[in-house]
Structure 1
């Protein structure tokens, strides 16, 4: 297994406190976090202080960009009523704190919300940093949790239950109430240059017509990962939060963002019961009958489980929905799910997949074919030490349309490579042909085009 190496930068968001040689740990009331979660960020000259030039009024170029809508024909998000976000709003609102953000994106009226500087979701209403200890309820500590659910004591056949698990659930609910931020219908949420939202689990839930652009989204860490001894052969720790979740939503455009775990990678987490205590779930999930979504020109990097499109084999009500386009995104140094698909008609074209030539992280696969998935993957580029036979992951899927993809600048039949290596015979026709494409590049040009134009700095007009 290849593992990531943590490079501890000046804004390290976590201090792990060892409480035993076996890597057990506990929540305390100390300022530094004991257990999952970040140490308080004390700010400093580089944290958008009062003299930061980015605190000026938005430029005319930024205001014009904030009123842009998804062009006709640009992926599934342009279908139906199209995606215009809050372009009809009279006056944009600029926010720089969690409280301002929560208020500005609420409600269903048209609104344009511009994010300035860095907003940390793990802060109270006055802007003071919160640690995992602040969310702990009913005396919860990981010392007690690890003692109660040690497989040598609890066993491996039953999920945790009882007062200690109840305290963990209550603590997780306290964090949920703080970091989940719901974005209302008819909203455009745009980052001004350098804007970042960290620690938040943004929710586009049961609404229509939302645009999210130009933001750096980082580190939706879970203070209270749960142990499940029945998950896999050895059991696993599971975390709750995604940076951005599209849930039961229609006509959504996610464009020119940067999504990652920041400098708080899961490889830094302690190991308990022989398994790493992952602090993160996904980067961007599209689930629960969401439909007509375009995901374009984003950078996804340094993460394991990146993107689910459809989150359950049993949700047959997703049939005919989960229509999603992914184009011109960069997927760099990622483990899996880019994307993993159930049910949906998903168009994946002109994306750049990059693996750095290092051996400190685990690559599993890129395209996950789930139950009744109808994935079309065309003219994508893979650069780095990719094994062509490992790009596809088969999870009850039966077919994939795969054409014109390249690995290290050479055309490769990725489906044939998978079948040859695994003794399978996956169908080569997903049963539909995409038509909602505006700008299609040859696969050989994709690494350069996406490398230059993806992410917040690549927004048109910047």
Structure 2
């Protein structure tokens, strides 16, 4: 085990517990012991509902590690198991690398005969969609050698880049440049009491995205030649809009875990945003949303995950930020998915900030910046589709910041929304939900009743009767909306502890 605690780490700007003498971070003024053994403040959001989240704060010295490679991280987690442990991240850890530190790419994971070009051609709408529809959609269960090879290739990548985090863990970035890239941390069912702070997460890149021909598929007679049965090359389901690329990995997946605090961290696609991978099929399968998606969420909270606080973090340059609840049909999520978000900064994020199903979510003092322009204009979907192809916006199109999904209960207060070319329905959008509440928030410089105005704009009204009132605010009172922008810009993100 590469445990570098008492020597080189004592020379770092951010000192850690276990070094002789009291260390103080010269930038933040926070003592080393406070940073290393930090715990969630009392009553700080839903994560604190069943007591303080301590992570690895009670770790013995033998379970305090400094790691700078994937192998060292995996070894530290395995050695300590579920015992309290503190893992410091030094520099950049590439999760898509082997034990010698060599980066692994598509060629290393690929199983023959997979190739993207052959896969794309095998399941092109002009080939796949001409078959009989199933429940008014193309068959969504792809078959054939290319899909089998894609699945096997994807498994190889998943086995390497997904790192399971055990209970009673603190993962703390050292200094201002700690990064975890090209992989995913997973907090699974049965795991609890986890703290993640002061880390930049980037580019959980899926080399083997899956084409789903039935996703968003619609028989729309406004599209020339669109019909439910194949007639010829110009008439049939292949001429209808729909189909999406889907990817596998989030930067952090809270997949059934509970009592999790994520703080002062930064999340993005890094230098490989999905905007670099435009649609590969011709009209009508070339909408902006049909780009080849290599990134999934930034932080997803699913499968009865519960009691999570995400604070003072920066989410930027990504389309779908995070889900809380991943399916309308998962009624087992009722009573779970309780999440608090405060002091976070969302910049050039398109949607899901978050999209909520079933959960009670408290969102306050967050700052949302984006642009809703780009879907095109016209009397129907076909005309809007054609219009959008002329504009091709470079930003991620804001569709909704807070998405009220099935049986969700979002309580929003003192948030600030700056959404160019948008209206209040882009701040709080109805995604098959029934309720949402907001108070004290600002939209494009004006204090308004956002739910009431969103109801007017969308025509899909939400009741304000969410059935609960937050009580878990921690040591810091809610800021008025007028103070949120300065506070968030100064505090949100890695390197600002």
Shorter-chain TM-score above 0.5: yes
The alpha-carbon deviation at position 253 of structure 1 amounts to 0.3
Residues 443, 450 of structure 2: 8 Å contact kept:
no
Distance 1:211 1:99 in 2: 21
Find out whether 1:411 has 2:447 as its counterpart.
yes
Q: What SS is found at the alignment partner of 1:419? A: helix
SS of residue matched to 1:389: helix
Name the structure 2 match of 1:205. 188
Q: 1:346-425 alignment to 2 at 5 Å?
A: 346-355=361-370, 359-361=393-395, 362-385=397-420, 386-425=422-461
- Give how far 1:388 is off: 2.1
Superposition deviation, residue 241 in structure 1: 0.4
Q: Structure 2: how far apart are the matches of 1:225 and 1:404?
A: 41
Partner of 1:84: 54
Work out which of the residue numbers 71, 88, 92 in structure 2 matches 1:99: 71
2:355 alignment counterpart: 340
- Which among 71, 85, 91 is matched to residue 41 of structure 2? 71
Question: Does the CA-based 8 Å contact 1:215-1:256 persist in structure 2?
Answer: yes
Q: How far does residue 455 in structure 1 lie from its aligned partner after superposition?
A: 1.0
| d(CA) in 2 for partners of 1:134, 1:214 | 31
Structure 1 gap ranges (5+): 1-49
**1:162-210: CA deviation from partner (whole Å, max 9, x where unpaired):** 2210000000000001100111100000111110010011101120100
Deviation string 1:17-67 (CA, Å, 9 cap, x unpaired) is xxxxxxxxxxxxxxxxxxxxxxxxxxxxxxxxx9xx859964553443020
Is 1:181 equivalent to 2:163 in the alignment? yes
Structure 2-normalised TM-score?
A: 0.79
Match of 1:122 in 2: 96
Give the distance between the partners of 1:384 and 1:147, measured in 2 at CA: 38
Query: Any conservation in 1 of the 2:14–2:32 contact (CA below 8 Å)?
Result: no
With over 3 angstroms needed to count, the CA separation of the structure-2 counterparts of 1:400 and 1:356, relative to structure 1, is closer
Deviation, structure 1 residue 103? 1.8
State whether structure 2 residue 487 is matched by structure 1 residue 449. Answer: yes
Q: Is the 8 A contact 2:169 2:195 kept in 1?
A: yes
Distance 2:410 2:145 in 1: 44
Give the CA deviation at 1:319. Answer: 0.9
Residue 495 of structure 2 aligns to a residue whose secondary structure is: helix
Give me the whole-angstrom Cα distance separating, in 2, the residues matched to 1:352 and 1:399: 22
Q: Distance in 1 between matches of 2:12 and 2:215?
A: 46
- 8 Å contact 1:227–1:237 — kept in the other structure? yes
Q: Secondary structure at the match of 1:242?
A: coil
In the alignment of these two chains, the number of paired residues is 408
In the alignment, what sits opposite 2:139?
158
Q: Find the partner of 1:272 among 280, 284, 290.
A: 280
Instruction: Tell me by how many angstroms 1:143 deviates.
Output: 2.3
The higher-RCO structure (CA 8 Å, 6+ apart) is 1
Shift of 1:82: 2.5
CA shift digits 1:121-152 (9 cap, x unpaired): 11111101111111001331112212211211
- In 1, the alpha carbon distance for the partners of 2:192 and 2:43 equals 18
Partner residue in 2 for 1:222 = 206
Structure 2 residue 463 is matched with structure 1 residue 427? yes
Number of the residue aligned with 2:133: none
The residue that corresponds to 1:18 in the other structure is none
Deviation, structure 1 residue 409? 3.1
Alpha-carbon offset, residue 227 of structure 1: 0.6
RMSD: 1.8
CA distance in 1, matches of 2:322, 2:351: 8
Structure 2 residue matching 1:355: 3-state secondary structure: strand
Q: CA contact under 8 A between 2:342 and 2:365: conserved in structure 1?
A: yes
Kindly state the Cα deviation for residue 412 of structure 1 after the two structures are TM-superposed.
1.6
Q: Distance in 2 between matches of 1:346 and 1:218?
A: 25
Q: Is this contact kept in 1: 2:216–2:244, CA < 8 A?
A: yes
Q: What is the distance in 1 between the residues matched to 2:348 and 2:72?
A: 34
Question: Which residue of 1 is the match for residue 122 of structure 2?
Answer: 148
CA contact 1:404–1:443 (8 Å) conserved in 2 = yes
Q: Does the CA-based 8 Å contact 2:182-2:203 persist in structure 1?
A: yes
**Pair 1:231 & 2:269 matched:** no
In 2, are the aligned partners of 1:399 and 1:426 still within 8 Å (CA)?
yes
1:286 aligns with 2:301: yes
Q: Is the 8 A contact 1:54 1:116 kept in 2?
A: no
CA distance in 1, matches of 2:468, 2:15: 47
Q: Distance in 2 between matches of 1:348 and 1:357?
A: 21
How many angstroms apart in 1 are the aligned matches of 2:360 and 2:120? Answer: 43
2-structure distance, mates of 1:246, 1:78: 16
The alignment partner of 1:168 has SS state of helix
Q: 1:425 to 1:387 in 2, by over 3 A?
A: closer
In structure 2, the gaps of 5 or more residues are 1-7, 17-22, 25-30, 131-137, 218-241, 374-392
> Is the Cα–Cα contact under 8 Å of residues 68 and 84 in structure 1 kept in the other structure?
yes
